[in-house]
Chains A and B, each alone.
Chain A
């Protein structure tokens, strides 16, 4: 859950990262000759033989180890299983693992340097990673120029793929040659899912919406408003409160007389989510439902700065969405295999990383007959990003749309339970739902597709 928060917070950062990425990523060109943080499991052996390399770029040191390591093991598990079966189409799979953390924190520059290392290695047919959206924003320009396939298990920022969020400037070298795909759905689906949940599951009809005026928050809130109205609900008002706002009482006072039955917040806890909820209780609106995106689903009440900690007892009766699969298919089989290999339970993104590896391996299997040697990289990229192909993965059957986003739009819903986590309060899983198709082309998607989403359609 915490890693989700990091991704969400990165959404705010990614705008800046994206803005300077075109200049930033050309700078470290010389770095490719010396990939500093390579912790590689020796790769470039047997270039002429039957072996290919999959690159791995994840944050693997410092405080990020907890995120990166179980993700990396998901990749290793998939590769080991493939090699035990005699490889893929006669190729033995080798991993080259690089760390994009510098001083223990994920670093976009280091990520770009790592990708340049993979680009320079002709045996690399694809890369799994990165973990963080702002690292992705720095890496995609490099891999896009080179036509190297990247599959991210965890990125959720829409700006990495969707043109209306600025993705064309990130893949400006070849805007129509998609090379970056991901198995996590994008943040913008959350607003849509939040509206469905408020209207159908909670039966709310009158919403008051506040956003933090930032990319992530405003995007989330705008989609919520569109969808909530399309469902037949009333949006009393949408206010924008910049992250410098600390006193929400005048805003709440202004709508109190119009009897909202749900308040939706687009933003993260640090930009006001927790305070808004807390002050709702202060002005006597505490028993009105409250909702938001993964920016407020940020851990139990004993974590400093979390939504539940900031809002205190007022956090009750809140819901949140997370753009990830909570319950994966065949979870126990995967979990058993992972435990047998590593002696620990899989991490939040192990299955996603496993799925990314599966996509690369299945692409290799499909193209191995018609391509080889230096043509293999391009053939794998072209196969994986072709939206007519589908892949059988640990996350289910998935394919990728014209921007490289997964067609599987699973959103998980969580509610606050103030008795959870030993009485300090925590987010508990409610259900998950695939919003497939509903938002495949982004926030502006026709809300009509929502009719497929009924409250009964859980999991």
Chain B
């Protein structure tokens, strides 16, 4: 119990959970006032997608200190797997029956997340595990190589043009609230993202495997001495991180109705920024960072500075790295100095 306690409190920022919740609530209200109800729903949707991708980045970094640059392409591949599954299953347009829709969505999420989790495990086994004790530059460069390999695989199978996906969720199903017209799909995306984040927190914080992950992150050798199977733990971390990226891909395919072989590159960079912003290694921070990037996106669009969005995002990245390298919330998954 003692160990668990010390880990759940970040070492640098000793802030209680209620303070964090309060800060987030204040930020949300400020965001709402700044961009209005309609853009607020846009912001939550985009933010949820970036947050899902950022979680995988941060988990992998937290446990083996690897910036997994292939992670963005795992997300991109998730979108392709989702659209491929939907196409093979013979869907074309929106499914009207909510019960059928729910069943299809559950199956879609389970299958796609499972497949992408396995892809993540394979990548780890083939490309990263042999380099685990190599200098840190080696796996980083390998990760870039894996990123290109994944993109080329997608291009080989699906071609260089955007591929359209069946959109089983009716985009025109909307409701009006506070003068804004909000799609049920937007609500669904945010709910799915938040549910997955909560599930992840519970898994890491309350389960035996989660404790193995945290101990591996904290001190790999000591964890091994205490009987933790390091290889298995790292493989599971990749499975979960990649499955979450896969979930991001599904949501993407449902919402945008298309996938492009190299779409994961930029989405991955934005999500990486989100992870660094929140404190790389810190899952709560990554989620909040994802929403922050989503807010930047919408605010830039609202105020006519969209041309500068990439400058804004990477400017934030530089500022964080210079002034607060441990991110806004500090590192949390383990407690690395």
Flag whether B256 is at the interface (Cβ < 8 A).
Answer: yes
CB nearest to B256 among chain A residues? A246
Q: A247-B46, A253-B39 are in contact. Are A310 and B164 (CB under 8 A)?
A: yes
Q: A275-B258, A278-B257 are in contact. Are A251 and B161 (CB under 8 A)?
A: no
B307 touches A247 (CB 8 A): no
Chain B hits for A247, CB < 8 A:
42, 45-46, 255-256, 297
Q: A244-B310, A247-B46, A247-B297 are in contact. Are A254 and B161 (CB under 8 A)?
A: no
Flag whether A86 is at the interface (Cβ < 8 A).
Answer: no
Flag whether A232 is at the interface (Cβ < 8 A).
Answer: no
Interface residues of B in 272-308 (CB under 8 A from A): 297-298, 301-304, 306-307
Flag whether B162 is at the interface (Cβ < 8 A).
Answer: yes
Chain-B contact segment, one of A235-243, A341-349, A374-382? A235-243
Flag whether B181 is at the interface (Cβ < 8 A).
Answer: yes
Interface size on A, residues (CB 8 A): 30
Q: How far is the CB of B125 from chain A (nearest CB, A)?
A: 31
A106 to B309, CA, bound (A): 35
Q: A244-B310, A250-B301, A284-B181 are in contact. Are A305 and B42 (CB under 8 A)?
A: no
Flag whether A441 is at the interface (Cβ < 8 A).
Answer: no
Q: A239-B301, A304-B161, A305-B159 are in contact. Are A250 and B39 (CB under 8 A)?
A: yes
Q: How far is the CB of B123 from chain A (nearest CB, A)?
A: 23
Q: A270-B161, A270-B260, A274-B162 are in contact. Are A250 and B307 (CB under 8 A)?
A: no
A88 to B252, CA, bound (A): 63
Q: How far is the CB of B46 from chain A (nearest CB, A)?
A: 6
A312 to B159, CA, bound (A): 19
Interface residues of A in 214-249 (CB under 8 A from B): 237, 239-242, 244-247, 249
Flag whether A282 is at the interface (Cβ < 8 A).
Answer: yes
Q: A250-B297, A304-B163 are in contact. Are A237 and B304 (CB under 8 A)?
A: yes
A269 touches B46 (CB 8 A): no
B295-329 vs A, Cβ < 8 Å mask (1 yes, 0 no) = 00110011110110110000000000000000000
A260-288 vs B, Cβ < 8 Å mask (1 yes, 0 no) = 00000000011000110010001110000
Flag whether B184 is at the interface (Cβ < 8 A).
Answer: no
B164 touches A309 (CB 8 A): yes
Which residue among B163, B171, B252, B306 has the maximum number of chain A CB atoms within 10 Å of its CB?
Answer: B306
B42 touches A310 (CB 8 A): no
Flag whether B266 is at the interface (Cβ < 8 A).
Answer: yes
Flag whether A213 is at the interface (Cβ < 8 A).
Answer: yes
B266 touches A244 (CB 8 A): yes
B307 touches A240 (CB 8 A): yes
Flag whether B38 is at the interface (Cβ < 8 A).
Answer: yes
Chain B hits for A245, CB < 8 A:
306, 309
Checking A253, A269, A278 against B42 with a beta-carbon cut-off of 8 angstroms, the contacting residue is A253
B310 touches A253 (CB 8 A): no
Q: How far is the CB of A256 from chain B (nearest CB, A)?
A: 8
Chain A hits for B267, CB < 8 A:
244
A to B CB contacts below 8 Å, 8 in the list = A239-B306, A244-B310, A245-B306, A253-B301, A253-B302, A254-B39, A270-B260, A304-B164
Chain B residues packing against A (C-beta within 8 Å): 38-39, 42-43, 45-46, 159-164, 171, 181, 183, 252, 255-258, 260, 263, 265-267, 297-298, 301-304, 306-307, 309-310
Q: A244-B265, A254-B301, A270-B162 are in contact. List 5 more A-B contacts (CB 8 A).
A: A246-B256, A246-B263, A247-B256, A251-B306, A304-B161
